[in-house]
Structure 1
């Protein structure tokens, strides 16, 4: 039935774009959800025009549809219209101020435009809901945000909370290893990096410039010059223009 309703609405959007939603559709509680689902389908395909239309139809039925405002915010974010994207994120949060998802999405948007202090506040709000199904991801995002405003202790706490909720998040493991290295806890940094390396070996994740540069430093701590040189060579070959490779060159006699 839901699939039929989405199909029907899709036909209405593509075939009768100029028409208003009928009274009968307004009487269907599932119509708002169907329009929002359709809008997200269009958004995933990169069809922002039809996505806008679907979300607008949802708002015509329910002016308090936070999902629709959030959807429009994501549409305008994709179109790189920063001002409009932010205005719709704020509308979504105004309608659903306790929604962890809305705060997480707005925080991720602020992070993407490098407004890090504001992003951290929104991401912190997202982590407050113990029932949010993406809470581990939100803590990981928050940790990354704290690193960029030089709050190392807060970043450590956020990454640890992320891993408490989901111990198999490779980015959180890597970031926490780097944090512990910066804080001088070499044993913990090595242990965490070994976990990350095992995930690389199992092809669960790939190396990044950050992980390779960390691998160089971890190997040096272990007095393993061969491993350090190997990580350095891979870093040179894969990320020759990276900041990490420049740091590696400067650190090599």
Structure 2
């Protein structure tokens, strides 16, 4: 990069290295610079990496913005939709989170190779509870309990419903 500051691929590799070293601020700067290269073929992945860094740095709105750009570029992917909907629920943006979660749910339903994770199920459960959809909540709770009985998300859900 000292020889070619426009070498986007090298910048993304360096950003990944910094991220692995837990140097999130520096990694964020590298990925942010890499997003400026509109012709870079892996630009969607760069936005995903930028979102991961922003999330680690507590910059939720920047992370949401980067996840949305990654989805717009790459299309629907389980990781993107799962993290984006989770973060939107975390920030209280339930309506927007529900739209992305529905896309995630359709993706899972359409591909036998993809299945919900404990984390994605907990996101769906929070959305169902917030929206008052008890049928959806029961269905997702059953999946979580049957597929991931020992998960921390199942324990979190049990704690969430303990007051009911």
Q: Hey, what does 2:62 align to over in structure 1?
A: 154
Residue segments in structure 1 that go unaligned for 5+ positions in a row: 1-92
| Structure of higher CA gyration radius | 1
The question of whether the paired residues in 1 share the 8 Å contact of 2:76 and 2:103 is answered with no
Deviation at 1:190, TM superposition (A): 0.8
Q: Hey, what does 2:79 align to over in structure 1?
A: 171
SS of the residue corresponding to residue 2 of structure 2 reads: helix
Structure 1 vs Structure 2 CA RMSD: 2.1
1:38-49 equivalences under 5 Å are: none
Q: 1:120 to 1:211 in 2, by over 3 A?
A: same
Match of 2:137 among 225, 228, 238: 228
1:188-203 equivalences under 5 Å are: 188-203=96-111
Structure 1 residue 101 and structure 2 residue 4: aligned?
A: no
Deviation at 1:117, TM superposition (A): 1.8
Q: Hey, what does 1:134 align to over in structure 2?
A: 42
SS of the residue corresponding to residue 154 of structure 1 reads: helix
**TM-score, with structure 1 as normaliser:** 0.57
**TM-score, with structure 2 as normaliser:** 0.85
Structure 1 ranges of 4+ moved more than 6 A: none
Q: Hey, what does 1:248 align to over in structure 2?
A: 157
Deviation at 1:246, TM superposition (A): 3.1
SS of the residue corresponding to residue 94 of structure 1 reads: coil
Q: Hey, what does 1:207 align to over in structure 2?
A: 116
Q: 1:207 to 1:96 in 2, by over 3 A?
A: farther
The question of whether the paired residues in 2 share the 8 Å contact of 1:103 and 1:122 is answered with yes
> Relative contact order (C-alpha < 8 Å, sep 6+): which is higher?
2
Q: 1:96 to 1:169 in 2, by over 3 A?
A: farther
Deviation at 1:131, TM superposition (A): 0.7
Deviation at 1:214, TM superposition (A): 0.4
Residue segments in structure 2 that go unaligned for 5+ positions in a row: none
The question of whether the paired residues in 2 share the 8 Å contact of 1:100 and 1:128 is answered with no
State the aligned residue count. Answer: 161
Q: Hey, what does 1:122 align to over in structure 2?
A: 30
The question of whether the paired residues in 2 share the 8 Å contact of 1:106 and 1:119 is answered with yes
Q: Hey, what does 1:112 align to over in structure 2?
A: 20
